Amino acid sequence: MKSNKIVIKELSPTDVGKNYLKWMNNKEILKFLESGKTKIKKKDLQRYVLVKKNSINEFLFGIYFRKSHIGNIKLGPINFKKKTGNIGYIIGVKRFQNKGFASEAINKILNYSFKKQKLKKVIANSEEKNLASIKVLEKNGFKKTKSRMIKRKYGKKKLVYFSVDKKTWLMK
C-alpha cells in the first residue's frame, strides 16, 4: 500500500505512549541503531522528548498513520551557520514497514528543512547493511558522499553518509 496519509507532528512528552515505548525496547527494530542496548522506561523517553522540544537546533517529530504513532523522524542537530542538518528516522511498528511511510516522512522533513528552516543541505547516514534505509534516502534524492568503518562499544560497522541539497531536491 503506497499512500500519502501520514502526518508528522512535533512530539511533546505527553505523546510518549505504548507504541513508542515498545519499539524502543525492540531489539529487532533497533538492530541497526545505537539505541536498544539497555531497557528504556517511559520516563526516559519523556525526558528525551522534552530535551528535543526545548532544543533550538533539534526537532523531533512523531509519524502518525490514522492517529496511531508508528515512528519518529528527527531533524538535527542543525548547523545554522552552514545551513546544514542531519536527519534520523524510524518506522517502529513492524506491520507498517515497507508501505512507503518512511519515504513519505523524509519527503515531509526535507520540505520542512529547506522551506521552513531554510537549510541548504540535509545529511543522513546509515549502516551499509541497512538496505531499506539506504533505499528511502535514494528515493528522496540523497547521494552517497563517503563511507567509513566506525568502532562502537558493541562492535565495528560500516556507515555510509548521504546528502541532498536544496537545488537538487527542488528539481525532483
Among 42, 99, 108, 166, binds ligand COA (CB under 6 A): 99
Residue 103 is a binding residue for ligand COA (CB under 6 A): yes
Residue 100 is a binding residue for ligand COA (CB under 6 A): yes
Instruction: List the grid coordinates of 150.
Output: 566506525
Any residues with CB less than 8 A from the CB of 84 and at least 6 apart, and which? Answer: 78, 119, 120, 121, 122, 123
CA dihedral 15, 59, 128, 93 (to 10 degrees): 10
> Which residue is nearest to ligand COA, using beta carbons?
102
Give me the least distance between CB of 116 and ligand COA, in Å please. Answer: 22
Nearer to ligand COA among residue 101 and residue 169 (C-beta): 101
Residue 7 is a binding residue for ligand COA (CB under 6 A): no
- Please state the φ and ψ torsions of residue 90, each to the nearest 5 degrees: -155, 135
Candidate segments 46-54, 127-135, 146-154, 164-172, binder of ligand COA by CB under 6 A:
127-135
Give me the least distance between CB of 34 and ligand COA, in Å please. Answer: 10
Which value, in Å, is the radius of gyration of the alpha carbons in the chain?
16
How do strand 121-127 and strand 84-91 relate by DSSP bridges?
parallel
Residues in contact with ligand COA by the rule CB under 6 A: 29, 32-33, 89-91, 97-103, 126, 130-133, 135-136
